[in-house]
Structure 1
Amino acid sequence: MISEKTVFILGAGASVPYGYPTGFQLNEELKELLVNFPPSPAHCSAEQSKVFKFFEELGCSPKELKKFEKSLFGAARYSIDKFLEKRNDFLDLGKILITYLLKKKEQRHFLFLNLNSENWYAELFNRLDTTVDNIETHQISFITFNYDRSLEFFIYNVLKERTTKSQDIIVSAFNSIPIVHVYGCLGNLPWSKDGGIEYSYEFEPEDIKKMASGINIMSEERETEELKKAHELLRDAKNIYFLGFGYDELNLDRLEITKYGINKKMRGTSYGLSEKDLKAVRYSIAVTPETRKKDARQQTGCSINFYQNDLTIMQVFKKYMVFK
């Protein structure tokens, strides 16, 4: 049981074990899709013909896609989200492309067939022995910067298959765990109050249009209901764990971590990050955003400890994680 209020903040690395790309990998997959997109049906292979028709039904013309490709390559961004933040003219098309690529990753076997590898969802909820009867006693919540719905799908199915109780009880138990998608997500799943779209790699053009509307590409100044909810969770938390997070300074500032991280136990994975990277993160957390570039810097009183940078999330859970 976790009796102390604990928030898990998830970055792209947290979804990698479930078949999803990092931000950089998503950007590269998008470039590959655009480069290989045929200019007309006459230039299509059988497989390309399906893709061409699909995007035609979405209202995306080859001319629009080629224009998008030229700008994306020319901008030389590592992240499609960063690119779209400054290119509102491509916003709708960008959301559709992101949704198309991520929806294809919704494959259940990554969640339920690799329980002994890097499946930290399974490790967490087995360690907590989570059921509909005890889930409300676990003081956990999740703030995720990812669009995917793998966490929701996993938790719901775990609750459903560990009981014979009614659908209403299962849904109520599921809803007791706050999950906040800072930048939105690919929409609701079927058991939600308003209904939703199945977790599946099979989909129709109308599914992509609907799901794309759930993605939020934020400008630096924009405030959202999701961010407000995230701030409330951080304010009330005693423990904060960053998992698979890249520690982008803008994302840390959007969380207002220098405000809500004071007097909190903060830990984070650092897989693949250098000591130079981690030093920069410590500085971002220790100094207020307004004074970072000034001679007179104001200390926040916040600090974070990192796990070894050669450990995956699963390895960190097995080696270090002790919940109270």
Structure 2
Amino acid sequence: MFDKKTVFVIGAGGSKEFNLPVGLQLRDIISEKLNILYSDGVTLSNGDKAIDNALRKFCAESAPADEYGRLIEASWAVRDGVKQAVSIDSYLDTHRDNQRIVTCGKLAILSSIIEAEKKSSLFVETDYKPQYPFKRLSPFDEVRGTWLDFFFQRLSDGVSRENVGSIFENVSIVTFNYDRTIEHYLFLSLQNYFRIDAEEAADVMKGLRIVHPYGLIAPLQWMDKSKGLPYGSYGHKNLLDLVQNIQTYTESVRDPSLLKSAHDEFGRAVNIVFLGFAFHKQNMELLRTRMQNRPLRVFSSSFGVSSADCKQIQSDLRAQFSRPPEHVQFYMGNQLKCCDVFTEFGRGMMS
């Protein structure tokens, strides 16, 4: 169990350990999904059928006769442009004033993430009821040695079955990912480790403060029985029904309640742990806040980051948090993956 207030900031690399696509791979998937083509004018020969169905539903509800063609042109614009972007989020922010491009991009994000969840190492086929006992081998062997595995070990250490309700007392999470992998894993882990049922696990999960600045594809079923979707499934929904759940950078900035939630967590932190976070300028701006005047420890993964960039990131973070150098202690070894942060700095993180 964590004794000090600790905020985990999760970027795309935090989902990669569970076989979800990130970076170039995600951009390629999105590009291919939006390459919507009809070979004979009638039969869909390329692109994502669920996205095409969503576009047709939108046009059927309240759009002018030529709207479908305009949306297809927008989907092709994303198809061609996203491969040059730092991320799909960055591309959509660039075109924030083009609602067709933003809508097509969001539909592609939704489709990509839902499919990725189903292919992830944490997917469990449970007849749309993700709870213990599982109907096949549990996923925990599949994710052994990942950061979530180490995270749960630290969380649960010293917590008795009777006190499980306090397990998230000093922990909060700010994740820039749209997927529900963290919530899904912790929900299953609470049931498996503490031998509690799904209802009690869902109640314990209410104690976890978790913020998605860009939204999430949908709540899980145990989070919201009416609007929830199973992990890795569309359920019975059309993608168009989920578009409002995804936010661009600009939309997040306009949501003061969302920003306040993230800033409040940072303001209370003694430890901040960045995992799989690329420190993109836009994401850092969302986290800008004035920290309380006390020493701060920052732990971070750094896989694929050069030594020179590690030093620059440290300088940027001191400025970001408006703290003098002597007030911020960094633990940022070169080329560390998310799981390595726990094996390298785990003891210090808990002290």
> Does the pair score TM above 0.5?
yes
* TM-score normalised by L of structure 2: 0.77
Counterpart-to-counterpart distance in 1, 2:113 and 2:119: 13
Aligned residue for 2:232, secondary structure, equals coil
Asked whether the 8 Å contact 2:270–2:296 carries over to 1, the reply is yes
Counterpart-to-counterpart distance in 2, 1:260 and 1:30: 41
Match in the other structure for 1:295:
none
The amino acid across from 1:64 in the alignment is L
1:148 counterpart = 2:155? no
2:280 pairs with 248, 253, 256, which one? 248
1:79 pairs with 87, 108, 118, which one? 87
Change (3 A) 1:70 1:169: closer
Aligned length: 315
1:174 counterpart = 2:241? no
Match in the other structure for 1:4:
4
1:110 pairs with 105, 114, 121, which one? 121
Match in the other structure for 1:321:
346
Structure 2 residue runs of 5 or longer lacking an equivalent are 60-67, 123-138
Counterpart-to-counterpart distance in 1, 2:57 and 2:26: 20
1:209 counterpart = 2:234? no
1:122 pairs with 131, 149, 156, which one? 149
Deviation at 1:235, TM superposition (A): 0.8
Change (3 A) 1:173 1:52: closer
Is 198-207 or 214-223 further displaced after alignment?
A: 198-207
1:286 counterpart = 2:288? no
2:264 pairs with 223, 227, 232, which one? 232
Counterpart-to-counterpart distance in 1, 2:26 and 2:259: 24
Is 198-207 or 234-243 further displaced after alignment?
A: 198-207
Counterpart-to-counterpart distance in 2, 1:51 and 1:288: 41
The amino acid across from 2:75 in the alignment is F
2:73 pairs with 59, 66, 72, which one? 66
Aligned residue for 1:213, secondary structure, equals helix
After TM superposition, where is structure 1 displaced by more than 6 Å over at least 4 residues in a row?
Answer: none
Deviation at 1:230, TM superposition (A): 1.0
Change (3 A) 1:260 1:165: same
Change (3 A) 1:40 1:161: farther
Match in the other structure for 1:33:
33
1:15 counterpart = 2:22? no
Asked whether the 8 Å contact 1:54–1:205 carries over to 2, the reply is no
1:190 counterpart = 2:190? no
Structure 1 residue runs of 5 or longer lacking an equivalent are 290-297
Match in the other structure for 2:337:
312
Deviation at 1:85, TM superposition (A): 1.2
Deviation at 1:147, TM superposition (A): 0.8
